[in-house]
Structure 1
Amino acid sequence: MGVKRKAAAAVLVLLLFLGSLWLQGGLDYHWDSCLKGSNQNNKLHHLFNSSEANGSEGPPVLEGCPGQTFQASLLLSHLLDAPAYDSDVLLQPYLSSWDELVKFMDALGPMVGLISKEIVSKTSIIRQLAAATEEEDPEAELGPGSHSVNPVGTEAGPKSGSGSESPAHREAYRSVRSMIWVELDRGTVDFHRQTESGCRTLLRLHRALLWLKLFLEKLAENAVAGGRLRSPSELCREAYKNTLANYHSWFVRRAAELAFIAMPERGFFFKLVCVQDQEELSAVLTRVVRAIEEVYDRTQKALEENHMLDLP
């Protein structure tokens, strides 16, 4: 009995260790106007939910999934609300997308659920920074109704040395680009050491988003004629090797691969997304992946333009 208890305790310690290192040292190097933004969002919603996508009658709007905590319909809605202007991403729907992705990961079992707790810690950092900025200027509007944050390439932007906060400063955490502008202007971002800046935190979430995008993309694939559908465990491991493994130590990579062994079988994902078979799963996940890709590409461009893809 004592041996069993020791073994169980060892497994628990490993799980907690894996979860904490996943983002702390894994996603790290150790383990134009409001109206224009609204029009852009409406265009994306129309593209993903109408016949414009393929020239025929478009797919139906995703319905809610009774009895499930994770809702693919909510995830898609948040993702479609995130793009703004020509090349920006609104942080409020971006973080809401992560809230839904966390529910998705939690549903996959305790191993992946522990990883999701680190995702929550990262989204909390950005939300706390936004809240702190709002407290500094209670009249600042940090929600989707803000008007004064301008997309890259326009005349307005953060101005250094002024006696008072510029509108962009007051709305620093409204979008990815406004956050980048203000944190660079304030000297919050450090290119040589670790800090809890919003930009550094966003980069960690950005890397994790690519992992999940590739996993869902592979899960949506149909079997080739005469072939078999690969297991979710195999697909998740492959997506991991192509993304997060590049930033993980040898030990973390081995522990992560052990975590994927416990991944549920494909039938579980049918129930999770409320579909009957692989064809229906593919239809839903393809739409989600396309929406993730739009958000990912915009974030990638903003980080790359500001030389932030390698923040320590």
Structure 2
Amino acid sequence: MAGSEAADEQKFCLQEVLDTYRLCLSPEKEVYLEHYVAGWRGLVKFLNSLGSVFGFISKDAVTKIQILVALLNGENGSQYSTLQSMVKYELDNGLVDLTKRGPHPDSGCRTLLRLHRALRWLELFLERLRVSTEDSKTSALCAEAYNESLAQHHPWVVRKAAGMAFLVLPGRPTFFEVMNVGPPEQVVSMLGEAVPLISEVYKITEELYAEHNLLDLP
């Protein structure tokens, strides 16, 4: 029994991600870090459910999630309740290394920026899946989304490996099955709710980072 429960916990469900991103924003449009991290946990399950293809992204995401959870649970955890409070706290206290020299400390701002960039890729990919047809090539959809987003931040060797990985992606029906929400039309409908929420969180983060010149943190 315990084994099947553990397996269920590892199983991706689009509904969970939708619910989490619904909780992500405060009435003032601040991003709750706890829910942002929870949303990413769900997205990691999505990546892992498709096999090792996305390992190069999901492993990095897991590391970043762990850093943010440690900050949330640390002695200054209250400063990390929202993305906005984290940026203010870290900038006010000189915790963000804005230079391009030497090793860079794992500040919350730098850590979240890596997840933020990957979130854009997932947002673009999920939207392409939503409007795709049954015979659409998921490898092409994924590569297009990647080239528009994450690829700009990856060295050539990673881009090359990603391109090869996308070629072996399963077809659209498999992706829809992995969502665990029912028939294709239900998946499309739920993606129609989830993608705009992810997009809004991304946009708010992007604007906040741009305002404080944090989009190119080394």
TM-score, normalized by the shorter chain, greater than 0.5: yes
Gaps of 5+ in 2: 1-7
Question: Residue type matched to 2:169 in 1?
Answer: M
Q: Which is higher, the Rg of structure 1 or of structure 2?
A: 1
Change (3 A) 1:299 1:104: same
Tell me the distance in 2 between the aligned counterparts of 1:124 and 1:197.
Answer: 12
* Equivalent position of 2:115 in the other structure: 205
**Residue 266 of structure 1, CA deviation:** 1.1
What is the deviation of 1:117? 1.4
Match of 2:25 among 79, 83, 90: 83
Encode CA deviations 1:49-74: one digit per residue, 9 max, x unaligned. Answer: xxxxxxxxxxxxxxxxx898101111
Q: Within 1, Cα distance between the matches of 2:96 and 2:9?
A: 42
Do the aligned residues in 1 keep the contact of 2:34 with 2:72 (CA within 8 Å)? no
Which residue of structure 2 aligns with residue 104 of structure 1? 46
User: Superposition RMSD on alpha carbons, in Å?
Assistant: 1.8
Distance 1:81 1:199 in 2: 21
Q: Aligned partners of 1:117 and 1:275: how far apart in 2? A: 28
Secondary structure in structure 2 of the residue aligned to 1:88: coil
Unaligned runs of 5+ in 1: 1-65, 135-141, 143-170
Alignment-derived partner of residue 59 in structure 2: 117
Are 2:15 and 2:190, in contact at CA under 8 Å, matched by a contact in 1?
Answer: no
Distance in 1 separating the partners of 2:193 and 2:27: 21
Corresponding position of 2:4: none
- Please report how far the alpha carbon of residue 182 of structure 1 lies from its aligned counterpart in structure 2 after TM superposition: 0.6
Higher mean C-alpha deviation, range 182-191 or range 267-276? 267-276
Question: Kindly, what percent of the aligned residue pairs are identical?
Answer: 40
Greater helix share, structure number: 2
**How many angstroms apart in 2 are the aligned matches of 1:206 and 1:88?**
15
Q: Deviations over 1:134-164 (max 9, x none)?
A: 5xxxxxxx5xxxxxxxxxxxxxxxxxxxxxx
- Aligned to 1:133, the other structure's residue is in SS state coil
> Residue 287 of structure 1 corresponds to which residue in structure 2?
193
Pairing 1:1-312 to 2, within 5 Å after superposition: 69-134=11-76, 171-193=78-100, 194-223=104-133, 229-273=135-179, 274-277=181-184, 279-312=185-218
Contact preservation (8 Å) 2:30, 2:83: yes
Shift of 1:276: 2.1
Query: Do 1:83 and 1:294's aligned partners in 2 also have CA atoms closer than 8 Å?
Result: no
TM-score of the superposition, structure 1-length normalised?
0.63
Normalised by the size of structure 2, how large is the TM-score?
0.89
